[in-house]
Amino acid sequence: PLPIQVVFYLQIVWGLVTFIITIICLQFFLWIAFNSEKLLTGQVVTDALTGLHNRYYITRQLKEIESTGKMNQYWAALIDIDNFKSINYTYGHNYGDYVLKTLADILRSECIDMKFCRWGGEEFLIIGKIGDDIMEQQRKLDILRLTVENYDFNYKGQHVELTITIGMTPFGNEGTALDWINLADKKLYLGKQTGKNKVVL
């Protein structure tokens, strides 16, 4: 049998060891919970195919813009890929997915000072600040349009010429941001009906 004093100190040591192990386990579980929550949050606001923000995320951003009372400092543009359904039909859905992901990469490189998302299907939404000149913002979108038009879309040796049509509108302080996006959608439709591959302001 061990002396009582030794047993006492051993109990203290084991108690400390147990406490430290418990703390480490709790920290590990908290780390798992935090990262799981972060991952789930990212999945909620991110489009799985393109990696861009999704409609849910941008709608929250629009509500924040509305709450500032300065909606007239912003503009919106809806982008639609011309003849996208025929691309899917001719080359297959894998090619269509490649086109969507590539356009997302182009948006990342060309729209650095703007917010953008995959709005749905082959449509993308851009939100920007007007600054001093709305026409300058339109020129930026036209550069984006030309970048897409001149891009070599090549998937497994299959090349396709691609264009986009853009409907753009500045916000006003009357109505909601979604009301103004609906107006951008009407301008997009007008661009589709009048030849495509253009920016309609």
Are 76 and 181 contacting, i.e. CB atoms less than 8 angstroms apart? yes
CA distance linking residue 178 with residue 176, whole number of Å: 5
Distance, CA of 161 to chain centre? 25
Rounded CA gap, 165 and 123, in Å? 10
| Residue the block writes with tokens 């550069």 | 143
Query: Which residue do the tokens 């709450």 mark?
Result: 67
Structure tokens at 136: 């300058």
Choosing from 37, 66, 122, 161, the catalytic residue is: 122
CA 101 to chain centre: 12
174 catalytic? Reply is no
The catalytic site residues sit at 122
